Amino acid sequence: MKIIIHGGFFSESSQSAETKLAKQQALSRIAETSYNYLKTHTALQTIVYAVELLENDELFNAGIGSQIQSDGKIRMSASMMDGLTKRFSGVINIEDTKNPIRVAEKLFTYDDRVLGGSGATHFARHNGFEKCSTEIPQRRKEYEEKLASKGIGTVGCVALDAHGNIAAATSTGGKGFEMPGRISDSATSAGNYANNDCGVSCTGVGEDIVSAAVATKIVTRVSDGMLIDEAFEKTFNELKSIDGFAGAIAIDKFGNTYHQNSHPTMVFASYDGVTLEVFN
């Protein structure tokens, strides 16, 4: 069993030493808590649980603490994928919802498994997800100062359970000050993908991740026989050709974890019940 989580890029919030330490501590806590949950739950259940914890922490750009778009509204996206069944579900540009990943989970059993905009928000209300503002004062201040460049990142989790099943989930509050209607990678297979061989969750600039099909390529290459580090190297070399900004975390079926980013500021943690690693 193994779990790896990411909290996006360090640059999305205050870059003080206090914030850096707080993010490290939060990632450590969430990684350990989620691993303990994994002991008695499936990989699919665990990725939702872990991402919900990340969404609930205002240090991260997802759920509470999401970025504000150029029209003053917060729109979030989230998705999940089960490597065992190959099912994918997600919400795009959902509003006033505390935990978008839980709405994606609710959609997982439906035939129509990816909803966007007002449809996603209506589905959430119809299924008992209460209206909730996810705005915090820091994001309002950033919006008012038009600091769009501060917001590039998401949160995510990949888990390998005791039965050898892999699942991945990703959630984002956007890049900040973007055009209303803009769609990121987080609720697409480019940013979140898993099968029996590997699972990947991405963070960074959604347009770059979609252009390079980062998660899908890494997982496909591992499935085709590449080692996980080789799959990352090839995919990120392709990302360089478009000067892409991205980071990714992964677990393969053998329990190998791997991470890489085009700019060394991604924050993440991994835990296997013995060794806890936290990076920033």
- The catalytic site residues sit at 154
How far apart are alpha carbons 32 and 3 in whole angstroms?
9
Q: Within 13 Å and on the Cβ side, how many CA atoms surround 163? A: 12
User: What contacts 271, CB < 8 A, 6 or more positions away?
Assistant: 2, 3, 4, 31, 32, 34, 35, 277
How are strands ordered across the β-sheet holding 266-271? 114-116, 88-94, 76-82, 166-172, 155-160, 2-9, 266-271, 276-279
Structure tokens at 176: 């900040």
How far apart are alpha carbons 228 and 248 in whole angstroms?
12
How far apart are alpha carbons 1 and 67 in whole angstroms?
33
Question: Which DSSP symbol is given to 178?
Answer: P
Which residue has tokens 């008992």? 128
Which stretches of the chain are DSSP H helices?
17-38, 43-55, 100-107, 117-126, 137-144, 206-212, 214-223, 228-240
Query: Of 16, 26, 20, whose CA–CA distance to 64 is shortest?
Result: 26
The region that residue 229 occupies, defined by phi over 0 for left and psi between -120 and 50 for alpha, beta otherwise, is alpha
Question: Which DSSP symbol is given to 71?
Answer: T
Q: Give the max Cα distance, the chain.
A: 49
